[in-house]
């Protein structure tokens, strides 16, 4: 088990394209780090540089305190689960899992013991004599994991391991991976573009855009204190609404009326003439359902609802609004980059599922203004980010992780577990 440090890592492919551009990232021992970002942002490239399948053009890769730039993959002692599993089709499940041990010339009975242990953990026992071709997707995925955990690797690397599974299995395997990681307490780097995986699995999440790190933080910090438009728009589903606004007095004038800001935020916004307010769908509510005590914490406005979607446990309403040309172009560009569908100038708001608001009618909404963020439309920077509050969130998450790892170590008496025997 080891920490992974990346210092100013750059990767230029043969054609000069900088797939990874000056990335510096420290991953602590035992930490679960997620790499997310839209397609083509360099996640896989970065992962493959950690494992040594790709050389870095410049910068240093340090694993467990040792500079590994010039080490071949086999000398780095990391294990990796590939997106399409890359199982060896000519070997049985047993031999697939045993392969790393066979390469290191482990004695036969030791191999048998370790493979049995790994297959117990992954519930593969009755499939050990079968060939990968005859297994289901989930089983193949587990064989790939078995091959990863069977030896004492310094870290696990996953490249979108669940993207080939159907939704239900994905959920199952997600909890499985999380449990396994906590239990083994092993450093893990996990590439995904699935929101849920990023938010639920990661101790910290690293958001990449065009080969550059945007923000590295706990899921909560990313959600509540994003550094810029890109992160704010990328994290959260349905995505954050960005409304054009102009500062006026201590508040902002938006298509949905005035939004009052507290002193700290008002001071930061001062001096800008056009800004974007970022409001998460759940900051809205059907005004008639908000109790009197909460009402003064936000503002109310009337708007015509275009479409409503009732999902049983929740309900979404779409409210169109007018926006100046300069902002719409900017928003369209952003949504294209985030791979989201063409963002029309409409707000998605989440309302209580019992709400009687109907399509095509005018309705009154309440907007919780306490947590809205204000962005500079040109640079995309979050003007109202509270760095301290964010850091506190991440500190809490780190503390949780350390406690969990300690607990799991104590439970196992610090002794035998798969891969740590």
Partner 1 sequence: MSRREKAWWIVGGILIVLYALSPIAWIISLSLKGSSDIANQSFLPTKAVWDNYTQIFTGTASDLFLPALRNSFGICLIATGISCLLSMFAAYAIARLDFRGKRLILSAALGVAIFPVISIVTPLFNLWRQIGLYDTWPGLIIPYLSLTLPISIWTMSAFFREIPWEMEQAAQVDGATTWQAFRRVIVPLAAPGVFTTAIIAFFIAWNDFAYGISLTSTSASRPVPAALGLFSGASQFQDPTGATAAAAVIVTIPVVLLVLLFQRRIVAGLTNGAVKG
Ligand X SMILES: Nc1ncnc2c1ncn2[C@@H]1O[C@H](COP(=O)(O)OP(=O)(O)OP(=O)(O)O)[C@@H](O)[C@H]1O
Q: Does 416 bind ligand X (CB under 6 A)?
A: no
Distance, CA of 73 to CA of 71 (rounded, Å):
6
Indicate the residue among 72 and 410 with the shorter CB distance to partner 1. 72
Q: Does 198 bind ligand X (CB under 6 A)?
A: no
Q: Tell me the two tokens of residue 172.
A: 């199952």
Indicate the residue among 52 and 219 with the shorter CB distance to partner 1. 52
Residue 202 binding result from Mg ion, partner 1, ligand X, none, given CB thresholds of 5 to 8 Å by partner type:
none
* Edge-to-edge order in the sheet of strand 307-310: 307-310, 315-320, 346-351
Among 82, 316, 318, 321, binds partner 1 (CB under 8 A): 82
Among 6, 34, 46, 80, binds partner 1 (CB under 8 A): 80
Q: How far is the CB of 132 from partner 1 (least distance, A)?
A: 5
Among 130, 131, 193, 371, binds ligand X (CB under 6 A): 193
Q: Does 42 bind ligand X (CB under 6 A)?
A: yes
Among 40, 249, 324, 414, binds ligand X (CB under 6 A): 40
Indicate the residue among 39 and 416 with the shorter CB distance to ligand X. 39
Q: Does 16 bind ligand X (CB under 6 A)?
A: no
Interface with Mg ion: number of residues (CB under 5 A): 1
Among 87, 240, 348, 351, binds partner 1 (CB under 8 A): 87
Residue 233 binding result from ligand X, Mg ion, partner 1, none, given CB thresholds of 5 to 8 Å by partner type:
none
Q: Does 218 bind ligand X (CB under 6 A)?
A: no
Among 25, 38, 44, 350, binds Mg ion (CB under 5 A): 44
Among 35, 135, 235, 276, binds partner 1 (CB under 8 A): 135
Interface positions, 117-176, toward ligand X (CB under 6 A): none
Distance, CA of 374 to CA of 386 (rounded, Å):
11
Q: Does 114 bind partner 1 (CB under 8 A)?
A: no
Residue 42 binding result from ligand X, partner 1, Mg ion, none, given CB thresholds of 5 to 8 Å by partner type:
ligand X
Among 30, 100, 244, 377, binds partner 1 (CB under 8 A): 100
Distance, CA of 81 to CA of 276 (rounded, Å):
41
Contact 266, 346 (CB under 8 A): no
Q: Does 41 bind ligand X (CB under 6 A)?
A: yes
Indicate the residue among 46 and 405 with the shorter CB distance to Mg ion. 46
Residues forming the site for ligand X (CB under 6 A): 13-15, 17, 19, 37, 39-45, 193
């Amino acid at each position: 088990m080891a920490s992974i440090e990346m210092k100013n890592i750059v990767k230029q492919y043969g054609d000069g394209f900088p797939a990874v551009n000056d990335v510096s990232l420290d991953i602590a021992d035992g930490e679960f780090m997620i790499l997310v970002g839209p397609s083509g942002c360099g996640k896989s490239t970065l992962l493959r540089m950690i494992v040594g399948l790709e050389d870095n053009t410049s910068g240093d890769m340090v694993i467990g305190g040792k500079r590994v730039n010039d080490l071949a993959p086999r000398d780095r002692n990391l294990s990796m689960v590939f997106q399409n599993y890359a199982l060896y089709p000519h070997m049985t499940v047993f031999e697939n899992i045993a392969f790393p041990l066979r390469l290191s010339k482990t004695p036969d009975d030791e191999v048998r013991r370790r493979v049995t242990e790994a297959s117990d953990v992954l519930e593969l026992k009755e499939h050990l004599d079968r060939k990968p071709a005859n297994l289901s997707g989930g089983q193949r995925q587990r064989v790939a994991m078995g091959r990863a955990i069977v030896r004492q690797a310094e870290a696990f690397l996953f490249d979108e391991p669940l993207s080939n599974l159907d939704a239900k299995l994905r959920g199952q395997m997600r909890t499985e991976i999380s449990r396994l990681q906590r239990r083994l307490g092993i450093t893990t780097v996990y590439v995904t573009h699935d929101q849920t995986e990023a938010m639920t699995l990661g101790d910290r999440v690293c958001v990449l855009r065009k080969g550059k790190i945007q923000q590295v933080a706990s899921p909560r910090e990313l959600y509540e204190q994003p550094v810029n438009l890109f992160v704010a728009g990328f994290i959260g589903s349905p995505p954050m609404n960005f409304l054009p606004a102009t500062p006026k007095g201590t508040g902002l004038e938006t298509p949905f009326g005035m939004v009052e800001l507290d002193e700290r935020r008002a001071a930061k916004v001062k001096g800008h003439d056009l800004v974007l307010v970022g409001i998460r769908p759940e900051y809205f509510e059907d005004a008639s359902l908000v109790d009197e005590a909460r009402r003064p914490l936000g503002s109310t406005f009337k708007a015509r609802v275009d479409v409503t979607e009732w999902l049983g446990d929740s309900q979404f309403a779409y409210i169109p609004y007018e926006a100046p040309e300069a902002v719409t172009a900017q928003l369209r560009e952003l949504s294209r980059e985030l791979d989201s569908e063409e963002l029309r100038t409409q707000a998605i708001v989440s309302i209580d599922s019992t709400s009687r608001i109907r399509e095509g009618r005018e309705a009154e909404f309440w907007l919780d203004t306490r947590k809205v963020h204000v962005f500079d439309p040109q640079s995309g920077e979050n003007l109202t980010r509270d760095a301290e509050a964010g850091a506190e969130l991440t500190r809490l998450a780190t503390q949780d992780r350390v406690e969990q790892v300690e607990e799991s170590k104590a439970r196992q008496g610090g002794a035998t577990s798969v891969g740590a025997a």
